[in-house]
Every structure is written in C-alpha cells, then in structure tokens.
Amino acid sequence: MKTRRIVELLASAEVDSDVVVKGWVRTKRGNKNVAFIALNDGSCVKNVQVVVDLQKFGDEQLRQITTGACLRVDGRLVASPGSGQGVEVQAEKIEIYGTADPETYPLQKKGHSLEFLREIAYLRPRTNTFGAVLRIRHAMAFAIHEYFHTHGFYYFHTPIITGSDCEGAGAMFSVTTMDLNNVPRNEEGKVDFTQDFFGKPCNLTVSGQLEGELGALSLGRIYTFGPTFRAENSNTVRHASEFWMIEPEAAFYELEDNMELAEDFLKYLIRYALEHCREDLEFMNKMWDPELLDRLNFVVANDFKRLDYTEGIEILKASGRKFEFPCEWGDDLQSEHERYLVEEHFKRPVILINYPKAIKAFYMKQNEDGRTVRAMDVLFPKIGEIIGGSERENDYGKLCARVRELGMNEKDIWWYLDTRKWGSAPHSGFGLGFDRLLMFVTGLGNIRDVQPFPRTPKNAEF
C-alpha cells in the first residue's frame, strides 16, 4: 500500500480507509490499555495521532517506541473523537525503522533554545520551528523562480569561482590547489600564481552582479540566484560567511523601473508566503514573533514611499530623536535610521534613492549634480535595508573615470568595461539577500536560524 504523507492525511476526508504512514515519534503517552503516539514526517507542522491498542502489540516492541524513533504504521484512518485533530490512525501493525535511546537523544519533549539547537544543526530540522523555517525557505525559493519566469527573466548562472571582486564588496575566500606547506614563489618572493590551477589568483564570489550585467546586455532580463561568500570576521545576527543572493539585472530599466520591480517582487514573495505557508507562519507568529503576520500584511498592504536621500537626512536631523549614530549628509545610514523612517515617520516601507557618490560603488550611474548616484535601498520594518541596487553607469568614459578615481585596476575588469564600448544600453539591477528575506518572513532574529547549516567565523560544522 502506498505511503500517505501526514499533511495529506490531516486534510483527508477519506475516513474509514486503510493507510500506511511513516515518520518520527514526537511524543508517546497513554495508560495501561492504550498508547497515543504523535508522529511527524516533516510535511507539515502538525502531527498525526496514532492510537495503539496495547493488547495487539508486545511489550518489547512498545518499549522501543520513544521520542525520536522512526516508525512505519499500517492502520485505519478514522475520525478522531478527541479535540485538536480531525482524524487519527488506529494502528494494526508497527515496524520500527530506527530506535532512539531516550537517555542520549538530544530532542526531548521539553523546549530547547535556538542557541542549543545550533549546536545540533544536523537534528534541528526535526523540531517544529526548523521544520517550519525550512518549508518556508523552500516555498520562497520556488516563488523566486516562478516570479521571474512569469515576468520574462532568464535564470543566469554566474561563476562561483571568480577572478574579480565585484568592486570590493567584501573580503574574499581564496581558491587554490597549491600545497600551502610549500607555496611556489617568483623571483620577487611573491606567490607564483602562474603555477596555480587557474594560473591567476581566484576567489569565491561575493556577488554575481558584474557577470549578470553581461547577461542582461545580451538577453535583456536575467536573474541570478545562488551562493555567495564573504570572508569578513562579522559575528552579528545579520552576517554569515556563506549566504544566497537574488540579483536581477534588466536592460532598458532606469531607476524608476528598478524600484517598481523591487516593490512588486517583494510583495509577490510575501503574498506567496501568506497564501502557501499559512500554517507554518501562524506557528512562527505564535511561538516566536507575535507581530509577524501583522508585519507581513503591513508590507503587502502599503505602497512603498520613494524618498530622496537628502530629504531623508533632513527628516532624521529634524526628528529630535537621539540616535546612537548621529547622521549628516554623506553618511551611510545605520539600521536605526532606516527603521525610524519606516516604522515611525512614514509608517510604510521606504525606497531611499540618490545616495552620495562617495559612499557607493563605482558602477552606479552618476546624477547630473556630480555629487549623487542613482542608487536605491529598500527599507523594511524591523530589519532596515533588505534590497540594495542602482541604475548602472552605461557611459564608457564616465565609468572609466570613476574606476581611475577610486584607484581600481582597469585591467582586472577590462571585460566589464568593454560592454560600455559596444552597444551600451541603460540597465539596472539590485541584490536581495535570500537569508535576510527569510529572517523577515519567519520573524527569527538571527541569520544562523534560517540557514540549514550556517557558516560563520570559526564555525564550519556539519
């Protein structure tokens, strides 16, 4: 008989039918006549109750059914007389796939802290919280591809191993096959990379943007969605050494088009979560963040405010608020500034535009004032910046001048500059950190708790 997933059984109207269900024991309770086993297979946050008539099963087998054990249950799906569930399974046969010693199994019935669960990340997907988080993570990944596919964007694979650093976006992990105990050196005593696998220094990518722009200037609209890496020693709740990024790039998009895309994209993802992950979101709302559902609906229901950086600075200075980090024109805004604009002043998401040129990357299109660039940051409640992007500089002369102004080596990005020599076009794009999106959608405050196996400084377990 075909195994039925628990999510299907709980929604089933086919009572009084024979079923096979498999999963892991969450709890077992009962009396001298009957046992009640809560079984979960990861398909939903709820368990199915298995009712066991003790006279049908031997004591030895029943003793092995403890929290964490993995079972196959053949039985009868019936309407449940108890409250809390519509159906239950009356067990006729039980096969124990794997036992779990109750003295050593780490996940017992009591609650566990998120900090403790990070130490056993290989088991935490069995908990209600991380089952919910990982199902939401899957749904968001699926929605990203669905959105871009239906909007005419092509999924474009940019390299993970790269010889460029995308404008110095962060410290990079080196990639080498050289024997680190016997590194070859040239006549100047420097590392001789000509003897390395690629014949030049290479690193793990910090962003697929530069290569993504090349795709957009050929295919029109592309998006990347893949892992990126930062070798920064940042031990904060928002930083990880390995994380996933979504980076769309579109030819013939100017800044206004880019803002419209970002707003529509974010609202689509949140609506998708509210529609397809309702049970898991309600669980996260109940257990971890009682404002989660209100905040998600808040973003969907409100138009994003377009705000010039200069006006934003004036609002912050006139607020009377004593910020931890004072802000003046030319400063990069801190999370406290961003959240004030969103949560207190405008009471809706904000897209901040036209930042000072001095604090933004070389590839951003310069405004006529010579002081600012056509950059944009999307600011959300609770977390501040969730998207960063810009219209890209498409003028070859201006781009080269900016590269030289910053002391960058033109030879390292000759291929990127060449795209402005032959058939250049207006184009724009942005980056959305997938894991930070998940922090917002799940209500969890630490990036380590939305990644299956987080990679952070001094931590590469599992």
The C-alpha atoms of residue 391 and residue 429 are separated, in whole angstroms, by 7
pLDDT at position 165 is 60
Instruction: pLDDT tens for the chain, 462 residues: list them.
Output: 789 999 999 988 789 999 999 999 999 999 989 999 999 999 999 999 999 999 999 889 999 999 999 999 999 999 998 777 899 999 999 999 999 999 999 998 778 999 999 999 999 999 999 999 999 999 999 999 999 999 999 999 999 999 876 555 568 999 999 999 999 999 999 999 999 999 999 999 999 999 999 999 999 999 999 999 999 888 888 889 999 999 999 999 999 999 999 999 999 999 999 999 999 999 999 999 999 999 999 999 999 999 999 999 999 999 999 999 999 999 999 999 999 999 999 999 999 999 999 999 999 999 999 999 999 999 999 889 999 999 999 999 999 999 999 998 888 899 999 999 999 999 999 999 999 999 999 999 999 999 999 999 999 999
pLDDT at position 14 is 84
pLDDT at position 169 is 53
The C-alpha atoms of residue 349 and residue 351 are separated, in whole angstroms, by 7
The C-alpha atoms of residue 69 and residue 65 are separated, in whole angstroms, by 6
Structure tokens at 81: 């007389």
Contact predicate 261/248, CB 8 Å: yes
Spell out the residues 6+ positions from residue 96 whose beta carbon is closer than 8 angstroms to its own: 61, 64, 65, 69, 70, 71
pLDDT at position 170 is 61
